[in-house]
Amino acid sequence: MPATAPLTARALLLDMDGTLVNSDAVVERCWRHWAAEHGLDGDSVIEVVHGRQGYATMAVLLPERPMEENLADNQRMLEWETADVDGVVAIPGAPAFMASLADLPHALVTSADEGLARARMDAAGLPMPRVRVTAERVGASKPDPEGFLKGAAELGFRPQDCVVFEDSEVGIAAGRAAGMRVVGVGPRAAAHTPDAHVRDLEQVRVEALPDGTLRLRFTD
């Protein structure tokens, strides 16, 4: 879908990895290491990791494994990823985009925990939003809508008044399940028919209208 028609919202809910921060290099390093430990094909693992919390990815890949083992491995994975920020950079346009939101209603809604989110946002040179819903604040991973619904509630807006920015299939599904419109960011999002799609955040402009509405414009 060409990203030409403007959208309006009262608040924006932002995924982190793949949306604000390019962390693909470290994600691949850590998950390929985990895949090798479990005798799994690394390429097949990488296809399903984006957007979910680690334990949920493990449950997809090893459906017969007890959940307590997935949760233990998830904690180990978070420690690996938090310690490794080599190659973590901002998505093109993210610094200006975040600066434009400084005084506007927005929240971070990420499958990372607080420590990992801070490590990656810092590595990318991006400000941490005041309102954030991280992994430890939800009971279910994306594609469950819980995180986005909590973000909207904490900002004080109805779901239908929010627009989600996401890069992954499960993240887009979570935004839709929350009753929100979705701007897809980057190549992974293009196949999942978001309400608008952009190459990166250089194509997004946010304008605050006098009544508090946010107008999102998309450039070629």
Q: How far apart are the two ends of the chain, measured CA to CA in Å?
A: 12
Rama region for 125: left / alpha / beta (φ>0; ψ in -120 to 50; rest): left
Lookup: tokens for 73: 């491995």
Report d(CA 94, CA 74) in Å as an integer: 28
Lookup: tokens for 156: 């004080």
Catalytically annotated residues: 15, 17
The set of residues, in sequence order, having a beta carbon less than 8 Å from that of 66 and lying 6+ positions away, is: none
